[in-house]
Amino acid sequence: MATIREVCAVSLFIFSIFITLRLSGAEDSDQDSEYYEIDIRKFLNTSETIWTLNTTSKTPHMCKKETKYNITANETFFTRSYQGSSEEFLQGIFLYNTFYSEYDAMNVGKPGKLVDKEEIVFQGYNNTCAVFKRTLRANEIILFSYNQREIVYELRVKSSRINNPDDECLKWYLYSIPYPKESTRVYNHHCKQPSKNVDAGETIIHQE
């Protein structure tokens, strides 16, 4: 059994990798801006459809897409749908991360009932893709749950780049998802054709 010192050493090593990658991302993006910045509002403020390309959900939905209805500095309203489902009208209230001084998350749900939390783990430098961490029922009290919540990672891509997502988003998605690195692709070209019935995507275990 690992000692407390060994566990702390491993945790520190993982944290140092995260900080190094985040800072290296900032350096790479210096050509376009003074520093690398995550802003969930900027990513969502688009007229394009945002598709989910891959997900770690245990119950994945094919052809998941989101379309902005309205957005302000504090909140957004949007629709979300999957294959074989009607559109849901949802609200998101943006959350400010004081440690990084950025808006990197939002509470999400039906208007007035924002039960889930969605956080951007990585935002593409050209703002066409992002890796999201979803904490389901994050804002609900669940008895005897020991504060455990289902966490889902998703790679979301704007429609104009869905067939050619940026490499950095793909790499960060693979880096972010937990072992055994299982992921399901929930988008293919039939998703843009509403009359098509799209088969469930293949679940892949990514190798290191």
Which one is predicted more confidently, 67 or 32? 67
The two tokens of residue 176 are 């972010």
Domains in the chain and their CATH numbers?
37-205 (2.40.128.20)
pLDDT at 23: 44
**What integer is the mean pLDDT of 21-38?**
51
Lowest mean pLDDT among 40-49, 58-67, 146-155: 146-155
Please state the φ and ψ torsions of residue 170, each to the nearest 5 degrees.
-60, -45
pLDDT at 34: 45
pLDDT at 140: 85
pLDDT at 10: 37
**What integer is the mean pLDDT of 64-83?**
98
**What integer is the mean pLDDT of 173-187?**
95
Please, what sign has the CA dihedral across residues 50, 136, 96, 166?
Answer: negative
Q: Is 84 left (phi over 0), alpha (psi -120 to 50) or beta?
A: left
Half-sphere exposure for 130 (CA within 13 Å, toward CB): 21
Give strand ranges (E) for 56-207.
65-71, 75-81, 88-97, 102-110, 113-123, 129-135, 151-158, 182-185, 203-205
**What integer is the mean pLDDT of 70-97?**
96
* pLDDT of 122 higher than 70: yes
